[in-house]
Amino acid sequence: MIEGGRLRRVLLGTSAAVVLTAGLAGVAPTAVAVDAQSQQWYLDAMRAEDIWKTATGSGIKVAVIDTGVNPNTPSLKGKVLKGMDNAEVKGDETDDYTGHGTTMAEIIVGSGAGGGIKGLAPDAKVIPYRVSDTELQNEQKVNPYDMEEAIKAAADGDAQIINVSFASEYYSSYIRDAVKYARAKGKLLFAGVGNSAAKGNKPQYPAAFPEAIAVAASDETGHAAKFSQHGDFVDLSAPGSAIPGWCNEKFKSYCVTDGTSNATAIASASAALIWSVHPDWTGNQVLRAMLESASRDWESGTVSNALGYGIVRPNANINRGIGKPGDPNINPLTNEKVGGKSATSGTAGTSGASGKPGATTEPGASTAPGSSQAPEAKPSADGVVAGSDKSADSGSPLGLVIGGVAVVAVVAVAAFLVVRRRRTA
Measured CA to CA, the distance from residue 334 to residue 411 in angstroms comes to 37
Dihedrals phi, psi of 321, to nearest 5 degrees: 75, 15
3-class secondary structure, 18:
strand
Confidence (pLDDT) at 425: 66
Mean pLDDT of 172-199: 96
pLDDT band at 106 (very low <50, low <70, confident <90, very high): very high
pLDDT of 131 > 50? The answer is: yes
Mode of pairing for the β-strands spanning 166-168 and 422-424: antiparallel
User: Range with the lowest mean pLDDT among 25-34, 99-108, 258-267, 387-396?
Assistant: 387-396
- State the chain's mean pLDDT as an integer: 80
Residue-wise pLDDT tens digits, 370-411: 332 222 333 333 333 433 333 322 222 223 332 222 223 222
Whether the pLDDT of residue 422 is over 80: the answer is: no
- Written as one string, the DSSP assignment of 201-264 is ----BTTTSTTSEEEEEE-TTSSBPTTS--STT--EEEE-SSEEEESSTT-S-EEEE-SHHHHH
Q: From CA 415, how far away is CA 258, in angstroms rounded? A: 11
Please give the angle made by the CA atoms of 127, 129 and 135, to the nearest 5 degrees: 140
User: What gap in Å lies between CA 267 and CA 312, rounded to an integer?
Assistant: 7
Q: What is the mean pLDDT of residues 20-43?
A: 58
Q: Give CA–CA dist 357/235, Å, rounded.
A: 8
124 to each of 109, 110, 203, 341, 419, how far by Cα in Å? 6, 9, 31, 18, 34
The pairing of strands 161-164 and 188-192 is: parallel
70: CB partners within 8 A, 6+ apart: 76, 94, 95, 96, 99, 102, 251
pLDDT of 309 over the 80 cut: yes
Residue 421 scores a pLDDT above 70? no
Spell out the CATH class of 10-424.
Answer: alpha beta
How many whole angstroms from its chain centre is CA 48? 17
Closest CA to 260 of 297, 186, 208: 208
Q: In the predicted model, is pLDDT for residue 173 greater than 60?
A: yes
User: In this predicted model, what pLDDT tens digit does every residue of 190-212 receive, in sequence order?
Assistant: 999 999 999 999 999 999 999 99
Provide the 10 A C-beta neighbour count for residue 9. 30
pLDDT of 341 higher than 90: no
Peptide bond between residue 206 and the one before it cis (omega within 30 degrees of 0): yes
Q: 299 falls in which pLDDT band (50, 70, 90)? A: confident
The answer to whether residue 417 scores a pLDDT higher than 80 is no
pLDDT band at 342 (very low <50, low <70, confident <90, very high): confident
pLDDT in tens, 241-293: 999 999 999 999 999 999 999 999 999 999 999 999 999 999 999 999 999 99
The set of catalytic residues is 66, 100, 261
Phi, psi (deg, nearest 5) at residue 29:
-55, -35
Report the greatest alpha carbon distance in the chain: 58
Q: Does residue 191 contact residue 164 with C-beta atoms inside 8 Å?
A: yes
CA dihedral sign, ordered 66, 410, 217, 341: positive
What is the C-alpha separation between 211 and 222, in angstroms, rounded? 27
Q: How far apart are CA 115 and CA 37, in angstroms?
A: 6
For residue 396, give the 3-state DSSP assignment.
Answer: coil
Give residue limits of the domains in the chain. Answer: 10-424
183: left (phi over 0), alpha (psi -120 to 50) or beta: alpha
Integer Cα distance of 44 and 89 in angstroms = 40
pLDDT in tens, 318-333: 999 999 999 999 999 8
For the residues 9-25, what does the mean pLDDT come to?
Answer: 51
Residue 229 has pLDDT above 60, yes or no: yes
Q: What pLDDT was estimated at residue 222?
A: 94
With CA atoms as reference, report the closest residue to 166 among 200, 189, 183, 141: 189
Burial 228-264 (b: 16+ CB within 10 A, else e): bbbbbbbbbbbbbbbbbbbbbbebbbbbbbbbbbbbb
Which helix (DSSP H) or strand (DSSP E) does residue 366 occupy? strand 365-367
Predicted confidence at residue 316, as pLDDT, reads 98
